[in-house]
Chain A
Amino acid sequence: MPGLYRYPFHAMGSRCEIRLYAESDDETAAIARLAAADVQRLDAKYSSYRDDSVAAAINRVGAGGGAIEVDAETAGLLDYADTCFEQSEGLFDLTSGALREAWGAQCTALPDATLLERLLERVGWDKLLWSRPRLEFGVRGMALDFGGVVKEYAADRAAVICLEAGMKHGLVDLGGDIKIIGPHPDGAPWSVGIQHPRQADAVMATLQVSRGAVATSGDYERYLAIDGKRYCHILSPRTGMPVEGLAGVSVFADECIVAGSATTIAMLMEERGPSWLDEVGLPHVWMDKEQRVGGTYARLDR
Chain B
Amino acid sequence: MAAISGKLAALTAAAMALPGVHTRAADLTSPNPFSAEASHLEYSESGSRMSVRVNQATGTLPVTDNVLLVGNYIQDVMSGASPIFNAPGAGGDPHQVLTGASVFDRREAEDIGGVLFAGDNQFTLRQGWSLENDYKSIWTSIEARRFANQKNTTFAVGAAFNDDGVSSHDAPHDYRTRIKRDFFAGVTQIINERSLFEVSLAYSYSNGYLSDPYKLVFVQSTGLLPDARPSQRRQFALTGKYLAYVPAIDSAFQVVESLSTDNWGLRSGALEVQWKKELPGEWLVSAGGRLYSQSSADFYKVVFQTAPGDGLHSSDYRMAAFGSMAWLASVTKQIGRNFSVQFSAERSYRRYSLRSGGTGFDGDDYLWSFYLATLRAQF
Chain A residues with CB under 8 Å of chain B are 1, 72-73, 76-77, 79-80, 82-84, 86-87, 153, 156-157, 159-161, 163-164, 166, 168, 181-183, 185-189, 208, 210-211, 253-255, 257-258, 261-262, 279-282
Contacts and interface: CB of A to CB of B under 8 A. Distances in A.
Given A86-B10, A185-B193, A257-B15, A164 B25 contact: yes
Contacts of A77: 18
B22 A255 contact: yes
15 contacts: A1-B245, A73-B19, A79-B14, A156-B22, A163-B26, A166-B337, A183-B29, A185-B193, A186-B193, A189-B150, A255-B15, A279-B5, A280-B7, A281-B8, A282-B8
Contacts of B7: 87, 279-281
A163 B25 contact: yes
Nearest to A76: B18
Most buried by A among B4, B8, B25, B151: B8
A210 B147 CA distance: 14
A80 B14 contact: yes
- In the complex, the 10 A-B pairs of residues with the closest C-beta atoms, listed nearest first: A187-B151, A83-B14, A281-B5, A76-B18, A156-B21, A157-B20, A182-B29, A186-B193, A80-B14, A255-B15
Contact of B150 (A82, A166, A187): A187
Contact of A164 (B10, B23, B190): B23
Given A83-B10, A160-B23, A164-B23, 7 more contacts: A80-B15, A153-B21, A187-B151, A211-B29, A261-B11, A262-B11, A280-B11
A79 B26 CA distance: 23
Nearest to A81: B14
Given A77-B18, A160-B21, A279-B7, A186 B190 contact: yes
Contacts of A183: 29, 150
Interface string B173-210: 00000000000000000101110000000000000000
Nearest to A256: B21
B171 interface: no
Contact of B28 (A1, A156, A161, A163): A163
A181 B8 CA distance: 22
Nearest to A187: B151
Interface string B304-338: 00000000000000000000000000000000010
Given A156-B20, A160-B22, A84 B11 contact: yes
A164 B23 CA distance: 8
A242 to B, nearest CB: 24
A110 B29 CA distance: 49
B12 interface: yes
B46 interface: no
A159 B190 contact: no
B20 A160 contact: yes
Contacts of A157: 20-21
A177 to B, nearest CB: 14
B102 interface: no
Contact of B15 (A210, A258, A279): A258
Contacts of A188: 150, 152
Contacts of A86: 10
A77 to B, nearest CB: 7
Interface in B1-40: 1, 4-5, 7-8, 10-15, 17-23, 25-26, 28-30
Nearest to B5: A281
A285 B192 CA distance: 32
A84 B151 CA distance: 36
A164 B19 contact: no
Nearest to A167: B28
Contact of B19 (A72, A181, A261, A279): A72
A210 B10 contact: no
Contact of A187 (B30, B152, B245): B152
